[in-house]
Amino acid sequence: MALDFNPTEKQQPIMTFLRQFGLSVMRPAAIEFDKKEHEKPTAVIEQVNMLIGAGMGGLSRHKPEEEAENKAAASGKGLAGVLFAEELAYGSAALMLSFPGPGLGGAAIAAAGTDAQKKKFLARYSDGKVRFGAMAYTEAHCGSDTGAIKTTAKREGDHYVLNGRKIFCTNGASADIVVVWATLDPTKGKEAIRAFVVEQNTPGFKVGSLEKKMGIRSSETAELLLEDCRVPLDHMLGDFDPNAGAGGNTKGFKGAMATFDATRPGVAAMACGIARASLDYLVERMREEGWDGPHYGRSRTNLSAVDDAVQEMEAQIEAARRLTHRAAFLLDAKLPNAIEASMAKAKAGTVVVQVCAKAVELLGPEGATRAHPVEMWLRDSKVYDIFEGTGQVNRLVIARRVLGYTSKELQ
């Protein structure tokens, strides 16, 4: 039986709504706030929160018990989530990152938290108020090398004391809760890594600088500082066993890493949305100038350079989309999807940069100016080959699983 990843009859009107909302509200705001970095697109966020509260356009909030049952719920459920994410990113992926919700922090809690932790920390995102969640992973000296994390967590009585500095944290300054990755023992590498929930206004938890970025400028990216920040024992994600020593935890590193199997398809979908937006804009502009392509069915020897480029862009976007849909389908089926999630993320992250760069090129010198949004999309596109695991790291994950190597055997 062939798998059908196309929108269902029920989903199609939602897709249409999201496309219209993206084009009429999100895209103009993204262009405006690309020029106003560090200003919150408050009006759009309020509109989105009203839609979420009303359950419109596929932007409904999930109940805490649903979060507990489905690790993907915090970022959208499986295939429906990636279909909706692509449409919103078609309007503006950068602005989409500014939408209120549990975010990556919520995804980590859903993937590795206990039922009690999910109920405690995720319930606050279903009450209709504008709240953000975030995850603090990256440090100045380490991005993808989790074992090199230096932020420490030391147990003192009924608390853990966190010390360290995190960077590149999406919505970190606005977050109601932040999931912070830290080590119980820097000498033990990944084995000692744990994830901790830090609530806003916790003493010792401070926001540092906001990054000035090349792309996704309407999205907040913060530095976070932890100085003797004390969190209760039950804020460490997973079942805590006080008799198992300072790191008594049933899920630990592997449980928290399951976050990325759930979120990488969504990030890949956003990359596909940007790529589609760039290609559609390019085709529309060229047709205004008299181009009557693309000419399907002709041999490659009879195609113009523009025809050839456009058809190749279309093919690459579709390849990335199918990988993304497959990874999301497996997530819905509660089947292992680590390799498929990495394939989708690696492919989409590469394709979006290539497509946006080619769109800028084919529009000529004017394509590199702010006269066209493709210049902004090209700047936005690069991060999709970086966050949620760089393209290189995802290809390494794929290679290890295909070849049957451990992380120590293939680095």
Catalytic residue positions, numbered: 388
Q: Where are the alpha helices (DSSP H) in 158-218?
A: none
CA–CA separation, 303 and 287 (whole Å) = 16
Short-list 93, 117, 92, CA closest to 106? 117
Q: What is the DSSP letter of 293?
A: -
Asked if 197 and 189 touch (Cβ cutoff 8 Å), the reply is: no
Query: What is the distance, to the nearest Å, from the Cα of residue 55 to the centroid of all Cα atoms in its chain?
Result: 22
Tokens representing 85 are 């994410």
Cα separation values, 369 from 25, 317, 361, 366, 376, Å: 22, 24, 11, 5, 9
With a CB cutoff of 8 Å and minimum separation 6, the contacts of 162 are 151, 152, 153, 180, 182, 196, 198, 204, 226, 228, 229, 230, 231
Q: What is the DSSP letter of 61?
A: P
Helix, strand and coil percent figures for the chain, each rounded to 5:
55, 15, 30
Cα separation values, 356 from 13, 310, 313, 348, 351, Å: 28, 12, 9, 12, 8
Query: What is the distance, to the nearest Å, from the Cα of residue 210 to the centroid of all Cα atoms in its chain?
Result: 19
Helix (H/G/I), strand (E/B), else coil: 376: helix
* For residue 41, cis peptide bond before it (omega within 30 degrees of 0): no
Short-list 270, 198, 207, 204, CA closest to 235? 198
CA–CA separation, 31 and 29 (whole Å) = 5
Burial (0-12, 13-18, 19+ Cβ within 10 Å), 244 = exposed
Q: Where are the alpha helices (DSSP H) in 289-337?
A: 305-332
